[in-house]
Structure 1
Amino acid sequence: MKLLFVADPLSAFNTYKDSTFAMMREAARRGHELWVCEVPDLVWVSGSRVTAHAARQLTLTPEAVASRAGTKLAVWHEITAARDLALADVDAVLMRKDPPFDSEFFYATHLLEQAEREGARVFNKAASLRDHPEKLAILEFPQFIAPTLVTRSAAAIRAFHAEHQDIILKPLDGMGGMGIFRVKADALNLGSIIETLNKNGAQSVMVQRFVPEIVQGDKRILLIGGKPVPYSLARIPQGTEVRGNLAAGGKGVAQPLTDDDRRIAEALAPVLAARGLLLVGLDVIGDRMTELNVTSPTCFQEIMEQTGFDVGATFIDALEAAVSGAR
């Protein structure tokens, strides 16, 4: 297959932990042709098709192809060609642009949807990327989430705190634990935190009842091709930190899915797969789902390194099956 990855700059990749690299490595092992571009490279002009301007053909070094999960490589690829490439002329387009879900990401999904109308196969499906913002997508599944409030109202946040006493507040467009605050029963700094996050009522905020099981980790559960990966990565907060995100210093510990993990995963997996979401990352604390990640789910390499379960191979298996089924 010819694969086009729409991703962040290659210079930003960390081969020891990057899930997109894990996908590329497995695809290269199978002989698939790899191309890459960035979101600003996507172009459409009337009378033509959505094109990746100056898309680069990527050849992985022998060391990269042979590497194991968790391997840090200084040099891992070379660019062997560059040309304009219509998205409909490749077998699969993999949208792997990291959050935030901002206006430019939103516009990119429209270009990708136009490419789909022209015959491109995009994973995850463009409209489903747009319809499942990572924080708000959980609202569809209230049976699996902790008490949650989404509002611009400072008064509503104060009332929610008065009811639940111990709460988490976070912006809707954050990533990696950015902008997350915990407020306990004493309400210390609640007013200042509300002002910071909702910008005097101009910006919506998500508020959730604090889930104390965070001490056991914020679990990332991967759904691939409508099925859960049998291991999660529990991201455990360190020291006085309340956030388990790896970007915030959390420690990643791979572990088998619990009964509660599996109950949530197996309920959501077929629903989301039917919407063209080939890869989904569920964030679960205890038995409560806190986020539903579809833009660029990660944790492939940590799970592979610690358990031996080949997440990259599982993903490429599912991608090959999806492309074959769409022909």
Structure 2
Amino acid sequence: MNFLFVADPLEHFKIYKDTTFSMMQEAQRRGHTVSVCEPRHIRWTQGTKVLARVRDIHLTGEADAWFAVTGEREAELSGFGAVLMRKDPPFDSEYFYATHLLEQAEREGARVFNKPRALRDHPEKLAIMEFPDLIGPTLVTRDAQDVRKFHAEHGDIILKPLDGMGGMGIFRVKADGLNLGSIIETLNRDGAQTIMVQKFLPEIAEGDKRVLIIGGKPVPYCLARIPQGSEVRGNLAAGGKGVARPLTDRDIEISHKLGPVLLQRGMLLAGVDVIGDCVTEINVTSPTCFQEIFEQTGCDVPALFITALEKELEFS
């Protein structure tokens, strides 16, 4: 079967940790062929199906020249066995438009994972609000007074933009309220932009856990991303240390509540972020941490994913 990966430029991949690379590697190992394109290579012309300018590639097994291009062509997305949307955030207007093109390709018969509508309708930070029993005290607002009241109630808070990634734009304000006004102005742009405010969870010292849910079921190990030094953020992109751990009973409880819902909505893969007992985000655009968990535990996460993908293709 031929799989098309819609992703960032291959030349920018850090294959020692890249999850999309590990997916490609496992797909090829099983005899599937791999093609790639970027969102900018997808187009839809009046009276035709959605097309993309794609590169057919073969993974070489080498560390440097890790892929070889075996062909370049224009192809209908509906002609692939599966289309995997693996473009990294930010979820900007171009990402949004890409989901519309991919949804049209679905109407033409393409199988897209995660489903374009699910990606579009599932804001990764806001999505947690649907599950109030799984999260800590949280406020979504653009009003500065709302934020100040929340701070007065909870004392130690985290503020972050709704469109951030990799820990970008996250601020902690303690009980003294130092710089709260300036931080609010920076994030909400004088009331023009909605932000999220959450009670600070001291359990972050033990790690911001990435729990992977594949085909509605949890991977048995998570990756705890532990803040280093004086940093409050555990994100790997912000210098956090990744330590693989077995899921706790609470992690399993969370996964069993979220997994079937996410799968039913068309999300074959999700990365649920958990601090202590609380869900903080539900990532569906381009969840990562496959390789880190595999290397530390031997749990073959790429194999679990491709197996789930094959099952979806077989029974749908």
TM-score (norm 2): 0.99
**Per-residue Cα deviation, 1:117-139 (whole angstroms, up to 9, x for no partner):** 00000000110011111111111
How far apart, in 2, do the equivalents of 1:100 and 1:134 lie?
11
Pairwise CA distance, 1:42: 1.0
1:322 to 309, 312, 316: 312
**Per-residue Cα deviation, 1:201-257 (whole angstroms, up to 9, x for no partner):** 110000000011000000000000110000000000000000000000000000000
1:96 is matched with which residue?
86
How far apart, in 1, do the equivalents of 2:186 and 2:235 lie?
21
2:192 is matched with which residue?
202
How far apart, in 2, do the equivalents of 1:60 and 1:209 lie?
45
Aligned-partner SS, 1:255 = strand
How far apart, in 1, do the equivalents of 2:305 and 2:16 lie?
18
Pairwise CA distance, 1:100: 0.9
How far apart, in 2, do the equivalents of 1:137 and 1:8 lie?
25
Q: Which runs of 5+ in 2 are unaligned?
A: none
How far apart, in 2, do the equivalents of 1:318 and 1:29 lie?
15
- The answer to whether the aligner puts 1:227 opposite 2:217 as a matched pair is yes
Percent identity for Structure 1 against Structure 2? 69
Amino acid at match of 1:308: G
1:79 is matched with which residue?
69
**Per-residue Cα deviation, 1:42-77 (whole angstroms, up to 9, x for no partner):** 10011101111x20001110x25xxxxxxxx22210
1:37 is matched with which residue?
37
Stretch moving more, 236-245 or 98-107: 98-107
How far apart, in 2, do the equivalents of 1:254 and 1:2 lie?
32
**Per-residue Cα deviation, 1:103-125 (whole angstroms, up to 9, x for no partner):** 11111111111000000000001
How far apart, in 2, do the equivalents of 1:93 and 1:139 lie?
29
How far apart, in 2, do the equivalents of 1:325 and 1:101 lie?
31
How far apart, in 2, do the equivalents of 1:50 and 1:140 lie?
34
How far apart, in 2, do the equivalents of 1:101 and 1:19 lie?
18
**Per-residue Cα deviation, 1:260-314 (whole angstroms, up to 9, x for no partner):** 1000011110111011100000000000000000000000000000000000000
2:57 is matched with which residue?
58
Pairwise CA distance, 1:88: 0.2
Q: Which runs of 4+ in 1 moved over 4 A?
A: none
- The answer to whether the aligner puts 1:299 opposite 2:299 as a matched pair is no
How far apart, in 2, do the equivalents of 1:51 and 1:217 lie?
43
- The answer to whether the aligner puts 1:2 opposite 2:2 as a matched pair is yes
How far apart, in 2, do the equivalents of 1:295 and 1:169 lie?
22
After superposition, the CA RMSD in angstroms is 0.6
TM-score (norm 1): 0.96
Instruction: Map 1:155-166; keep pairs closer than 5 Å.
Output: 155-166=145-156
How far apart, in 1, do the equivalents of 2:236 and 2:246 lie?
19
Pairwise CA distance, 1:173: 0.5
Amino acid at match of 1:26: E
Amino acid at match of 2:201: V
Instruction: Map 1:1-327; keep pairs closer than 5 Å.
Output: 1-52=1-52, 54-61=53-60, 63-64=61-62, 73-326=63-316
Aligned length in residues: 316
Aligned-partner SS, 1:46 = coil
How far apart, in 1, do the equivalents of 2:2 and 2:28 lie?
11
